[in-house]
C-alpha cells in the first residue's frame, strides 16, 4: 500500500540553526501539506502546496518557514533559524485532490528538538 515517508525520524538542532525536513508523498498525489504537533497537543496546519506554489498557510508559517518540491518526488520544509518553540513533531501529508473532497494521508513524522 502506498504511503507517505519522512526523513529524518528525529532531528536535534541548536537554536538558530537551519533544518530541512524531507517528505516523499504518495506518488500520484498532487496536494501536499505540512502539519505540526507540539507534545501532548493537537495537530496544527502549517501549509498546503499545489502546482508548485503555496495554496494556504497558517499564522505559524512565518518568514522562517519555506517549502519546496525540488523534484518529482520530494517535498521539503525548511526552517531557517530554529527557535526553542519550534520543537514538535512535523507531519507531511498528501492527497489526490482538494482536502474537502479527498482524504489526506499522513507520514510517520519527524520529531524536531531545538536546544
CB proximity list for 93: less than 8 A, separation 6 or greater = 4, 25, 32, 33, 34, 35, 104, 105, 106, 107
Question: If you ran DSSP here, which 8-state letter would residue 99 be given?
Answer: T
Minimal distance, residue 79 CB to another protein, in Å: 19
d(CA 48, CA 92): 10
Among 7, 13, 20, 45, the residue binding another protein under the rule CB under 8 A is 45
CB count within 10 Å of CB 82 equals: 21
Please tell me whether residue 13 binds another protein under the rule CB under 8 A.
no
Shortest Å distance, C-beta 35 to another protein: 8
Letters for 64-93 (x = contact with another protein by CB under 8 A, - = none) are: ---------------------------x-x
* Using rule CB under 8 A, residue 25 touches another protein: no
Q: Does residue number 7 form part of the binding site for another protein (CB under 8 A)?
A: no
Q: Is residue 34 a contact partner of residue 77, using CB atoms and an 8 Å limit?
A: yes
First-to-final CA distance of the chain: 37
Q: Count interface residues toward another protein (CB under 8 A).
A: 25
Binding residues for another protein, rule: CB under 8 A, are 4, 33, 35, 41-45, 48, 55-56, 58, 91, 93, 98-101, 103-109
Amino acid at each position: 500500500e502506498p504511503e507517505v515517508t519522512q526523513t529524518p525520524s528525529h532531528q536535534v538542532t541548536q537554536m538558530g540553526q537551519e533544518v530541512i525536513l524531507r517528505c516523499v508523498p504518495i506518488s500520484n498525489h498532487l496536494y501536499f501539506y505540512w502539519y505540526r504537533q507540539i507534545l501532548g497537543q493537537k495537530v496544527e496546519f502549517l501549509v498546503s502546496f499545489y502546482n508548485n506554489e503555496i495554496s494556504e498557510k497558517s499564522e505559524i508559517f512565518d518568514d522562517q518557514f519555506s517549502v519546496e518540491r525540488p523534484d518529482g518526488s520530494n517535498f521539503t520544509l525548511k526552517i531557517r533559524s530554529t527557535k526553542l518553540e519550534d520543537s514538535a513533531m512535523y507531519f507531511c501529508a498528501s492527497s489526490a485532490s482538494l482536502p474537502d473532497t479527498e482524504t489526506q494521508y499522513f507520514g510517520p513524522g519527524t520529531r524536531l528538538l531545538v536546544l
